[in-house]
Structures are given as C-alpha cells and as structure tokens.
Amino acid sequence: MNILILGSGGREYSIGLAISKEYEEHNITFCPGNGATDKIGSNINIKDYKELASWAKNNNIGLTIVGPEQPLVDGVVDIFKQEGLTIFGPSAKAAQLEGSKVYMKNILKKYNIPTAAFIETASKEEAYNFIDSMSKTPIVVKADGLCAGKGVIIALSKEEAKEAVSGMLSGESFGDAGAKVVVEEYLDGYELSIFAVCDGDNYVVLPAAQDHKRVGDGDTGPNTGGMGAYAPTPLVNDDIYKKVEDRVIKPTLEGMKKEGAPFEGVLFIGVMVVDNEPIILEYNVRFGDPECEILMPLLETPVSELFYKGATKQLDTLDIKIKKQFGVAVVMASGNYPYGSSAPAEIIVDDIHDEVLKENSHISYAGVTKDGDTLLATGGRVLLCVGFGDDIQTARDRAYALCGQVHFAGKKCRTDIAYQALK
Ligand code: AMP
Ligand code: GLY
C-alpha cells in the first residue's frame, strides 16, 4: 500500500520505521519528514492540505496517518475525507478535545468523567473569585488553545495564579490561545499516558506509558515536549485499566457521538493516578512524542493494519497483539533545549559491534537535517535512543548504551528515564 505520514518528528519516524519492517511491503511518503525519514521512504513538502489531498489521490495513497495535533485541529482529516481518501485521525470538530481545553473540560464534566475541579472563563474577575475560593495551593492555570505544550502554569500561590490568569487573558502570554482560561485544582499523584486507538465506536487500548516532561533528572527544571518514555509501566494494573475504560474511554466515545463528533484516531489520555483513582488531566488527539517511539516497536500487530482498521471502522475485527517486552526511549536533545535553539551540529553514530545491543535497540530521528551526506542536529529534541528487553532495567541499559554511541556537540539527555518503575 502507498502510505502518507504527516509530520516531521521522532513520532512520525517511529511510525514509518515500524511500517517499513512489516511483512507486507509498503511505499511510505512523509510530509514533510526530516533529514532521516528519507531513508525509510521519501519526503515531500506540500503545505496546503487541499493540494496535499490532490497529491494523495494522484499517487494512490491508500492510507494517511497524521502525527501532530495542528493539522488535525486545522481539519486535514475533513479535507481528505471529502476527497474520498482513507485517513486516520479525528475531524476538526473532534480534535477540539485537544484544540480547546475549555471544550475538553466541558465534555469531561458533561459526561461525568473524573477530572480536577475547575472553572473556565474569559473573565478575570470570575477567575480571581474562583482562585480566592480555593482552599489549597498549588493552583493550575491553563490557556485554552494550543501553546506547543507551554500553556500550563502550576502556580504556587494565589497571587501567582492571578498573575498567570492576567497574563493569559490580556493576550500577553499566549496571544489568542489565552483568550479563555481554565483554572483548576492541583492533583497530586503519578502521571500515566494511556492511548486508545478509536474508530468512532470501537477502541483498542495500548500498554500504558510514562513520559518525563521536565528537562532535568528527578523531574527538575522547565517542561519540555518530553525527555524520554517507557512502557509498559508497572504503575498501572488491571483495576486502573478497567476504570479508565469504563469511566473514561466508553463515556467519551458515547459522548462524542452525541456531540455529532464521533472520535476516530488516537485518544491520548493524560491520567493522574491519585489514591488508585485515575483522574483525567487532559486529552490529546494524537500519539504522544516520545511515547509513540516505544509503543510502535512494541506492537506485534502490524501498525498499518491497526491504523487502517481505525480509519475504516473495523477495530472490532482486530485482535491486538503486543510483544512481551519493555521499551525505554531516551531523548538526546540540543544544548540549549528547551530555552532556545542551538547551532547545527554534525551527528556521528559509532558502529555497534555488540550483536545483542544491535538487535535490541535503534535510533528514532527527530530534529535532524541532511546536508549532503552529513546528518545535522538542528532541532531541540534531536533523536531518541530506544532500547528493548525482557525487563525495564535491561531495556534502559540498552537505551543508554546506545546513547553512548551517539555524538553531537552540546548533546544532552536525562540519565534517569523510567526511574519511577525502578525505584
Ligand atoms: P496538560 O497540558 O494539561 O497535560 O498539562 C501539562 C502538565 O502539567 C501535565 O502533564 C501535568 O504534569 C501538569 N498538570 C496539568 N494539570 C494538572 C493538575 N490539575 N494537577 C497537577 N498537575 C497538572
Ligand atoms: N509526550 C507528551 C506529548 O506528546 O504531548
């Protein structure tokens, strides 16, 4: 089949890599891809979605997979479907679950899905009154719209929470994305990333993962897009999975149908587990990055089949198979990440002579550009070293062994990925 993958990160690379290893041969095109995806398939760069849909028709694309949220929120799925193309992802309307935190929180409330107590408002006075009525700090303030992962402030005092509200509502902090805010109670627990692949009616739940959002070891420093992930996490059990299915996934799919926006695509459920109860922090409408980079290789079911069935309402016929292994992904980032950009740096990967390491690890490339035959680190998150094993420690050791084989000026990574599982 001819498959088109939208996006340019490690997430899209990992989807392409998994598909390229399937038994059946596929032709993969990335739009726009990165400096390494052209080894898996080819790269094109068409920015206009209508033009891209025509290209897809002319090139017999049988399945399109959308990696990032922005094209989904912008309606790429609707445009492709109007052209009769098969595309896996939510409509623009359903993508509001990620595009607007106000929309998401109101859906959670309407369908009785457990989430932090909150107020959503465009009024400073209302937000301030709610903050004054709160009995505990920290207080969480969120900009309504997409802010590239930066729109959440954990305020340690009521004054700080009010400053955050004021900065958002004035447009100073996040422009239009802050025209409305969500103020909510702080949840103290541990975080999980749970992914449900949905076709509007049916769903398949993948093994729960944990991301590491802060830049520094021990979860210190500013938030990033994610510095590493592992799965399956032992911090989840059948009871939590069942609660997430019964209290979260099923009512969300039913609710979205009632809203006239059936949910097709990846429902990324950001969960905080508090006293064994899963409480929803947020929804995203796509795979997490770096979570995707470990989940794709852990699938025994062909990735293209999972997404194709997701896109054609056939998930009820899929018997999902997951490898009995653990995966750990360590992000190698540029020196100035997440504060600013860094000078391009040549990436050198040593030959790996250890056969066991070679077989149980790989690199997922993200912020890289090609200059002739040279691969350059040009993005914040440059690449991920991914290791696999029969237990988390072994998978992690392999991921870090691979990190040792990768060189570029200024490289940095966390040294404690999966620490919550290994405590
Ligand atoms: P979000 O974009 O809503 O996932 O928020 C980004 C991060 O902020 C989450 O991954 C959590 O670590 C943290 N966060 C968000 N909401 C809350 C909350 N109500 N309580 C505690 N931490 C939160
Ligand atoms: N790993 C978090 C995200 O993709 O939003």
- The pLDDT tens digits for 29-59 are 999 999 999 999 999 999 999 999 999 999 9
Which percentage of the chain shows pLDDT scores above 70?
100
pLDDT in tens, 218-257: 999 988 999 999 999 999 999 999 999 999 999 999 999 9
Residue 147: pLDDT band with limits 50, 70, 90: confident
Q: Which atom of ligand 1 is nearest to the CA of 149?
A: 2
Q: Is the pTM of this model over 0.85?
A: yes
Looking at domain 2-90, which of 3.30.450.190, 3.40.50.20, 3.40.640.10, 3.40.605.10 is its CATH number? Answer: 3.40.50.20
| Pocket perturbation via mutation, ligand 2, pick of 101, 289, 296 by most ligand atoms within 8 A of CB | 289
CA of 153 to the centre of ligand 1 (A): 8
CA of 7 to the centre of ligand 2 (A): 14
Strand, coil or helix: 50:
helix
Q: Looking at the CA of 214, which ligand is closest?
A: 1
CA of 395 to the centre of ligand 1 (A): 27
| Pocket perturbation via mutation, ligand 1, pick of 98, 115, 152 by most ligand atoms within 8 A of CB | 152
Residue 149: pLDDT band with limits 50, 70, 90: confident
pLDDT in tens, 98-126: 999 999 999 999 999 999 999 999 999 99
| Pocket perturbation via mutation, ligand 2, pick of 11, 193, 364 by most ligand atoms within 8 A of CB | 193
**Six token digits for residue 15:** 């989807």
- Describe the crossing of helices 158-169 and 124-133 by its angle, rounded to 10 degrees: 160
pLDDT in tens, 282-313: 999 999 999 999 999 999 999 999 999 999 99
**Ligand 2 atom 5: residue of nearest CA:** 288
Q: Looking at the CA of 108, which ligand is closest?
A: 1
Q: How many CB atoms lie within 10 A of CB 112?
A: 10
CATH superfamily of 123-179: ATP-grasp fold, A domain (3.30.1490.20)
* CB of 146 closer than 8 Å to CB of 71: no
Going by the DSSP 8-state scheme, the letter that residue 208 receives in this structure is: P
Using alpha carbons, list the distances in angstroms from residue 268 to 160, 265, 331. Answer: 29, 9, 20
pLDDT in tens, 69-96: 999 999 999 999 999 999 999 999 999 9
Written out in words, the top-level CATH class of the domain with range 326-422 is alpha beta
CA of 154 to the centre of ligand 1 (A): 8
Given this model, what pLDDT does residue 204 score?
A: 98
CA of 70 to the centre of ligand 1 (A): 20
Q: How many CB atoms lie within 10 A of CB 117?
A: 11
Pocket flag, ligand 1, residue 191 (CB < 6 Å): yes
**Ligand 2 atom 4: residue of nearest CA:** 288
CATH code of 190-317, in short, is: 3.30.470.20
For the chain, which residues make up each domain, given as ranges?
2-90, 123-179, 190-317, 326-422
